[in-house]
Structure 1
Amino acid sequence: MTPNVGGIDRSLRILVGLVLIALAATGTVGWWGWLGALPLLTGLMGWCPPYAMFGISTCKTKG
């Protein structure tokens, strides 16, 4: 898996994922808040499957 998520994109994914999970854990939002695990995981891994399918990369370096 070649990294295709970089910099600001990666930071935002991690932040949004953590916020959604926290909101779901506190009962502020419904079950869909647990979907925050998806952006969190893609941000932590640095790889996004849809980006790979469409040939998109926000990562400055090619790994």
Structure 2
Amino acid sequence: MPVNVGTIDQYVRIVVGLALIAYALQDGLSIQGWHWAGLIGLVPLVTAFFKSCPLYTIFGYSSCPVRQ
């Protein structure tokens, strides 16, 4: 997997992912109504952890600085 997620992008993904998961679990483990949508927060967390985003790869984009 190519590394295409930069440091700032990685931190933003972590914050957004944790916020979405907190929204999903705000009433405990019994997820009701639209709170299940907050589980989508796992996707930004996984992409931040691996520093690789499949959509960035498809579109040929990278938020990493170019190494000399």
What's the TM-score, normalizing by structure 1?
0.87
Note if contact 2:5-2:52 (Cα within 8 Å) is conserved in structure 1. Answer: yes
Please report how far the alpha carbon of residue 33 of structure 1 lies from its aligned counterpart in structure 2 after TM superposition.
0.4
Larger radius of gyration: 2
The number of equivalent residue pairs is 61
Q: Which runs of 4+ in 1 moved over 3 A?
A: none
- Partner residue, 1:15: 15
Aligned residue for 2:45?
A: 40
> CA-atom RMSD, angstroms?
1.4
Structure 2: gaps of 5 or more residues: 28-33
Unaligned runs of 5+ in 1: none
Q: CA deviation at 1:23?
A: 1.3
**Deviation for aligned residue 1:61:** 4.4
In the alignment, which residue of structure 1 is the partner of 2:56?
A: 51
- 1:2-61 deviations in Å (ceiling 9; x for gaps): 10001111100011001110110113x611000000011111110000000010000114
